[in-house]
Amino acid sequence: MINVVGLGYIGLPTALMLASHGNEVVGTDYNEKIVNSLNNGEVTFEEDGLEELFAEAIKSGITFKNEYISTDKYIITVPTPYIESTKKVDASYIEAAVKSILAVCKKGTMLVVESTVSPGTIDNYIRPIIEASDFVMGEDIHLVHAPERILPGNMIYELKHNSRTIGADNLEIGEKLKIVYQSFCESEIVVTDIRTAEMTKVIENTYRDINIAFANELTKIAREADLDVYEIIRIANKHPRVNILNPGPGVGGHCISVDPWFLVGDYPGLTNLILTARHTNDSMPEYVLERISSIMKEKGMTDFSRVGLYGITYKQDVDDVRESPTLQLLEKMEEHLAPGLKVYDPMVNKPLVENQYLDFDEFLNDIDFVVVMVSHSHIKENEKKLAGKVILDTQKALNNSEVYYL
């Protein structure tokens, strides 16, 4: 039996995928609301294909509890934020999970950490907990790191088709876990050591962060030079070895906006490029504010209360708002004691921020200037409703030639 610990954006799909492919699974989360919802047959967030997968897993016998169970296989998928003051990983959630597991687990347990961590986290934080217990490392407890590698909005497909990395002290244990993941993963699964697996996951997201930062810096240069950044990128990308991304209003989510800080925190003297990329991407919400102010002056507009932000989530067609550029922008406004902007997002159906609308038409009726922060399919399908509005499209989501861009 496998006990999946943490039933959030990673843990729940993983538990459901394991269960629907023949594994006996119990999902555990301390959040009673999450467990109660799942036991009532309700998934806790929106994701394409998740409800169908949930139904399959229920038929296969998956159960959900607030308590850890006694077994010999655990997969930990709890949050791993960074500590604001040091930028180092906050391993407290994993530490707490490990301590709870050690209180109930069987000898010979395979303890798998899927949560993304900085290189050395398992050695520095997790291994000492086990060594201080009555269990013998490598005999009673086998440590493994198998970092997730999926994208919200496409989780179910990527769980099946993305390659995986398994880091283990004992490669034989790694191969045994590989068989478990092969029950649903159809791609290559690489077995290596723990520290290599830790580093691999962090640099994957750091690489993406740097690429996004280049595009965002390029858009600022193009704006200063009065050039079309999208035309520049389109032409440059015709080179066979160039693939520049499109700029955007910032970087959100729990991976790209967080993981690079782990390296900055652990290697402050060696991460100049990574640190610069983080600062560049973190500067984009404020840059969007500057563009709003500039366009308002050009249009002779003075009333910020008639400006609306479309999109609260960190990416299109998901309901995940973690580290959202829109939320970062609203925080910047609060810092400057500026009046709040109106906000709407079709994927967020509960009040989350001030001046948030739950009806799109009401939102449009109360604004003259719409800022497209997220390229949801909804805005593309309803583009005609924006007629007559001043539009800043930070995602180049619309076909309207009259819009402003970053």
Residue type, 45: F
Active site residue 185: no
The active-site residue out of 201, 220, 315, 384 is 201
Using alpha carbons only, give the angle 245, 261, 371 rounded to the nearest 5 degrees: 45
The active-site residue out of 73, 178, 255, 342 is 255
Active site residue 201: yes
How far apart CA 168 and CA 165 sit, in angstroms, is 10
50 CB burial (10 A radius; 0-12, 13-18, 19+): middle
Give the residue numbers annotated as catalytic, written as ranges: 201, 255
